[in-house]
Amino acid sequence: MDSRREFLGAVTGLAGSLALPRRVMGANEKIVLGIIGAGDRGSELMRLALDCPDVEFAGVTDIYTRRLEAAKRLVPNAKTYLDHRRMLEDKSIDAVIIATPQHLHCEHFVASIEAGKHVYQEKTMAFTVEHAKRMRAAYRAAGKRTVQIGHQWASSGQMIDARRIVASAPMGKVTAVVMEMYRNTPHGKPQWSRPLYPDMTPENILWQSFEGEAPQHPFDANRYLNWRFFWDYSGGNVYENMCHQLCFWYKVMNLQIPRAATMTGGLYLWKDGREVPDTMDVSLEQPEELLVSWTSGFGNNDLSVNESMLGTDGTLSRNAQVRYAPQKVNQPGVPEMLGTTRTPATAHMQNFFDCIRTGAEPNCPFDLGYRVAIACRMAVESYRQRRTVHWSAEQEQIV
């Protein structure tokens, strides 16, 4: 492909309208998919979907021509689009995977839902509180739609083990959930940094579509490719990794939006133009009278990924496996428990397809993604405003 013009022949004359409720699908009926955002993560999700039975891709949307070329090699029979609205006009498409930068989730989710599609929405579900509420309004207005948020641990064997153990083992009063997420990279290879290609030019990238509702800037290939560096498009590692760990425990314990959030830290390691911190500490005060804490950094990986739910009668921890250990001071005769359930890499995507067919609630439904997104936004606002922020349930706003 020489330029994006080959994709632009039919982008005018769009005629979007609210779709009628979608029909119930048969148990073995093929699900036809489209995807908005065919970058690294989008390509991974495409492969996971293709590993599930009875699915096929009819459409791929991306604003960068190189990615459309790559997607065409993966799904040769799918049509490619630079404008997601054109793909959403295809009535043969049952469901859409959205894997775009976080600031575009709301735009693409609302358009997909209003076009009558089921949606697999990559995390973090919503970029801001306003976006979360717009997405909720569209979801509620659309009637019966299956929405799966891309927190894949919600479909993991560890989730099955954790919920089983919590239901059967004594935990007592839980007062804290403690989470860690640490990484390291070789010198000279900053976390998330990706090299630019010579063809990343205004000719091959729809810059205005990338910026969306974000503050406007002149074309900048670095901002486009390394969008995770910038507050205009990203919530930093809170939105990349804390969200996954938080979702796990929010689901296990059915936790609600925090009452207050405090985030501290800074950009201590990578001086490469990024704005989001590389070392951080988050505290979330939950209305259930417990404290959720998360610490993370990119300069040492010895602490790796670890999580523990701390109760007066027991501890439920999670790393390679889920493990229950009683607090001997209160439960001297209770044995330890170790989770052993395994699920395939396709479990979360397969659950999405199963729920489209059956109408059941998916493992990470909209409401869970909504609560996690609000909690993550509270942490980011605390860091950027350098103060503790609170959630007003009455106003549904961060104050």
Residue 284 near residue 177 (C-beta atoms within 8 A): no
Both 132 and 197 in one domain: the answer is no
Average pLDDT, the chain: 94
Instruction: Tell whether 351 is covered by a domain.
Output: no
Both 88 and 122 in one domain: the answer is yes
Instruction: Tell whether 75 is covered by a domain.
Output: yes
The per-residue pLDDT for 9 is 37
Both 112 and 224 in one domain: the answer is no
In the chain, the number of structural domains is: 2
pLDDT in tens, 217-273: 999 999 999 999 999 999 999 999 999 999 999 999 999 999 999 999 999 999 999
Instruction: Tell whether 89 is covered by a domain.
Output: yes
Q: How many CB atoms are located within 10 Å of the residue 6 CB?
A: 12
Q: Is the pLDDT of residue 388 over 70?
A: yes
pLDDT in tens, 110-162: 999 999 999 999 999 999 999 999 999 999 999 889 999 999 999 999 999 99
Q: Is the pLDDT of residue 278 over 70?
A: yes
**Mean pLDDT within 349-357:** 98
Both 141 and 165 in one domain: the answer is no
pLDDT band for position 29 (cuts 50, 70, 90) = confident
pLDDT band for position 367 (cuts 50, 70, 90) = very high
Instruction: Tell whether 293 is covered by a domain.
Output: yes
Strand bridging mode 337-338 / 322-326:
antiparallel
Q: Is the pLDDT of residue 14 over 70?
A: no
Instruction: Tell whether 305 is covered by a domain.
Output: yes
Both 138 and 171 in one domain: the answer is no
Both 140 and 171 in one domain: the answer is no
DSSP E strands, the chain: 31-36, 55-61, 79-81, 95-98, 118-121, 147-149, 174-182, 260-266, 279-286, 290-297, 305-311, 314-318, 322-326, 337-338, 389-392, 397-398
Both 252 and 220 in one domain: the answer is yes
What's the Rg (C-alpha) of the chain?
Answer: 22
Give the list of residues 6+ apart from residue 187 with CB closer than 8 angstroms, or none: none
**Mean pLDDT within 328-337:** 97
pLDDT in tens, 264-276: 999 999 999 999 9
The per-residue pLDDT for 292 is 98
Instruction: Tell whether 356 is covered by a domain.
Output: no
Cα gap 250→4, rounded to integer Å: 43
Of 119, 138, 154, the domain-final residue = 154
Both 177 and 307 in one domain: the answer is yes
Both 63 and 186 in one domain: the answer is no
Instruction: Tell whether 353 is covered by a domain.
Output: no
Residue 264 near residue 280 (C-beta atoms within 8 A): yes
CATH code where residue 120 lies: 3.40.50.720
Structural domain including 242 reads 158-343+365-398
Both 256 and 216 in one domain: the answer is yes
Both 241 and 211 in one domain: the answer is yes
Percent of the chain with pLDDT over 70: 93
Of 94, 120, 154, the domain-final residue = 154
Both 74 and 185 in one domain: the answer is no
pTM for the full model? 0.93
DSSP E strands, 99-157: 118-121, 147-149
* Terminal CA-CA length for the chain: 50
pLDDT band for position 26 (cuts 50, 70, 90) = low
pLDDT in tens, 169-194: 999 999 999 999 999 999 999 999 99
pLDDT in tens, 49-102: 999 999 999 999 999 999 999 999 999 999 999 999 999 999 999 999 999 999
Instruction: Tell whether 192 is covered by a domain.
Output: yes
The per-residue pLDDT for 366 is 98
CATH code where residue 315 lies: 3.30.360.10
Of 154, 180, 210, the domain-final residue = 154
